[in-house]
Structure 1
């Protein structure tokens, strides 16, 4: 039996503590907040998109940073294993668009309550409102942790599951990176990911609040690589957001630190240009926006026409102006000049280098008996339940390995 200390009571930390406790270890879970799962509570707008039901091979393709590192953890505790874990507590789930999985009652609190029950069942001691300040290392051996006010807790093994730097109000402030760097770990540069994008074009702010479904967004994210995604978009005063933009941001965030990036948006990917031309001229004596409102939001079309400075009826429209309207619908170019701050990012890009972690156990290759789980590691998936599954899977593997 080992004395195991888990730092951070998010999904990765809770499942790690549960599994370590099940293996008859003496486990202490330290959480800096007054409650467990503070970030988990707000994920998915409080509905908790817990995982995704894609086959594991396809699932791994949705992990865009260091997905090979996750083979052992994801296969050790799959999406099906995760749901089975909760179903034993009579928790029911539903599968929605894009194979996203939510609790049947849309309540993240139900997920947290099950985890808390399992922590109690596994005899895990939970300490609240204590900040982790350092590792306790004596004679080059890990002996426990140091908390605020120089309080020490002795232990044989430590699991770090503090999260990254996104949503800092939930406790994931990123302070742990300085501690780990001091002890020899490499911390890859931190970027906001799954984050709204800021655009240069000022007229876009007039579209604030306009949302559109199933638009296609295309961009180059390196010299020879292009990304194309389809999903929902929402215009904001600073630029653009919505699921498809958040996912695109994961490919553009590093590049945007150095230069502007162009994106192209097709607002009607399932409607050809010829068909749009017919719709524009469908009722020749009506306003153009009245004809186009059958395929696009009225306020969007009005703003596009205003931006193009076109105030004509279809029977007055020349071919050049018609082409400009169609291009604004099918090939609107916007210039991204940055991302919103990491405070608005869903996940952190960057973190502890996976080269310094044993992917089969989640143990540090730098410090014996130190383990990692969750977003604190340089691993990152798209939206859709992938990042929560990463947290649970890496936490599970760390927990059974201590």
Structure 2
């Protein structure tokens, strides 16, 4: 039988473009189909428009920062990891730089540099690119449990040996990532794990949120901890945060958000309990020593070393202290309560903003039904998945895009090899 293509990739995002490139590099006649008018719409928004292309960390650190099934990636990272991602771009003339926490960016500070590099490579490899062309459905040969081809919006049928679904998740739907691929996965007999928002701001009814007294206040390098009902720590992240008109945001909060959603779903509780260590960069003893050395000063002036004025006023109210009270006038219970608040300022969250407001989807195609060494379906021969459609999610900082590039590259390689032997 003559096939139109060896490999068809559905979805022209990060993982899809890398999948098409790797398939073509293996000699496969490859087609890339995307519903958008341009490739990489979500990619050019990553890293604040600068594209945090990967994270230059150890394998173990990378996995640790992908709490949503990161261990599944060991096999794909053995074939295409952070170093391979960096080498891919450097070899094509894209200079990279390392910033804090191992984050890698193009020196141009433009995500378009990365997107355009991928597009140029697709052209060099003669990948057929079909834009503004949504896929209607994938055709399967259920008698042989294999892929037959793809039907696009124009009702044209493209036969192929392998199909790679890189259609994204449900986050950021304005980029075209609206979850189309989930239906094709279900039609192939795959199960989907429950979806939840991750890397999104928290919603709260705390009094200082409702009255907006702390709105716009940002805190540097504080430690946010999520607790279960038994008072056991679930997760802690030390980064920046900000008080908003609806709740809490900022890097430390975003990293806790997926865990908050999972906890609320599991416990059915009306809200989750968190705390902020306001002096995470200092030991309790160092702060106590400073206060004792300046015990004649007003407490509010002492706290200015670490906290903004509005938050200081809130703490004074909670301690039933006046603005003019000096540190030496505090009794033992007030000092004890002060440090309780400084080390574990309590906040709550009744939920998060929805998946559509986030940049990453929690949940997706069940990984038990995917071969980790190839990204191929265990149910349909020649069907591959990569990127955010899989039940994999990580923190911001170059971790999700690393998972996308890695799974995309592996899916592309193995889809091409599958086409050569079938």
TM-score of the pair, normalised by structure 1: 0.93
Deviation of residue 14 (structure 1)?
0.2
Write the distance in 2 (CA, Å) between the matches of 1:79 and 1:158: 25
Cα distance in 1 for partners of 2:380, 2:134 equals 21
Structure 2: how far apart are the matches of 1:284 and 1:343?
50
Q: Is the 8 A contact 1:195 1:340 kept in 2?
A: yes
Listed as ranges, the matches of 1:101-250 within 5 Å are: 101-138=104-141, 140=143, 141-204=146-209, 205-220=212-227, 226-250=234-258
Match of 1:20 in 2: 23
Q: Give the distance between the partners of 1:79 and 1:275, measured in 2 at CA.
A: 39
Which residue number in structure 1 is paired with residue 338 of structure 2?
A: 325
Structure 1 residues 282-297: aligned runs within 5 Å: 287-297=298-308
Quick one: structure 1 residues 142 and 222, their matched pair in 2 at CA, closer, same or farther if it must change by over 3 Å? farther
SS in 2 for 1:392: helix
> Would the aligned equivalents of 2:140 and 2:188 in 1 still touch at CA under 8 Å?
no
Report the Cα offset of residue 150 of structure 1: 3.3
Q: What is the CA–CA distance in structure 2 between the aligned matches of 1:295 and 1:280, rounded to whole Å?
A: 12
* Aligned with residue 71 of structure 2, among 61, 68, 81: 68
Verify the 8 A CA contact 1:163 1:174 in the aligned structure 2: yes
What SS does structure 2 have at the residue aligned with 1:207? coil
Q: Find 1:365's aligned residue among 365, 369, 378.
A: 378
Query: In the alignment, is residue 342 of structure 1 matched against residue 347 of structure 2?
Result: no
1:172 CA displacement:
0.8
CA contact (8 A) 2:196 2:362 kept: yes
Q: Alpha-carbon deviations, 1:38-70, whole Å to 9, x = none?
A: 111111111111111111132222221222321
1:144–1:269 Cα change, 3 Å: same
Partner of 1:299: 310
User: 1:133 touches 1:179 (CA, 8 Å); kept in 2?
Assistant: no
Matches of 1:95 and 1:150 in 2, distance apart? 46
**Structure 1 pair 236/308, CA: closer, same or farther in 2 (3 Å)?**
farther
Distance 2:377 2:233 in 1: 33
Once residues 245 and 371 of structure 2 are traced to their aligned partners in structure 1, the CA distance between those partners, rounded to angstroms, is 44
What corresponds to 2:13 in structure 1? 10
The answer to whether the aligner puts 1:387 opposite 2:407 as a matched pair is no
Alignment partners' CA distance in 2, 1:305 and 1:171: 49
Pair 74,139 (structure 1): closer, same or farther in 2 beyond 3 Å: closer
SS at match of 2:194: strand
Whole-Å separation in 2 of the counterparts to 1:355 and 1:68 = 12
Residue 327 (structure 1) shift: 2.5
Moved more, 53-62 or 217-226: 217-226
* Offset, 1:209: 1.6
Q: Kindly tell me the number of residue pairs found equivalent between the two proteins.
A: 402
Could you tell me how far 1:225 is from its partner in structure 2?
5.9
Range with greater deviation from structure 2 (152-161 or 296-305): 296-305
Q: Unaligned stretches of 5+ in structure 1?
A: none
**Kept in 1: contact 2:167–2:180 (CA 8 A):** no
CA RMSD of aligned residues (A): 2.2
